[in-house]
Amino acid sequence: MKPNKRASMVFLILGMIFLTIGLSTDNTAFTWAALAFVVISLVLGGRWMRPRRK
């Protein structure tokens, strides 16, 4: 597994954990942190930025 893929997976899992905590405690700081972690995960993964093959 490449380092970027591993980091992307870690940030995605952290984002899901923070989202769960934020929604269960009604804390917007955790929800915003979760959103940031998911965006970082998408950027590190990079799959959505590549052009599609025809």
Domain residue extents for the chain? 3-47
* Predicted pLDDT at 50: 63
Is the pLDDT confidence value at 40 over 80?
yes
The answer to whether the predicted template modeling score (pTM) of the entire model surpasses 0.95 is: no
Is residue 34 classed exposed, middle or buried when 0-12, 13-18 and 19+ CB atoms within 10 A define those classes? Answer: buried
The pLDDT of 13-41, averaged and rounded, is: 90
Q: Output 29 or 49, whichever has higher pLDDT.
A: 29
Q: How many Å is the Cα radius of gyration of the chain?
A: 13
CA separation for the pair 24, 30 (Å, rounded)? 10
Is the pLDDT confidence value at 51 over 70?
no
The secondary element (H helix, E strand) that includes residue 13 is helix 3-25
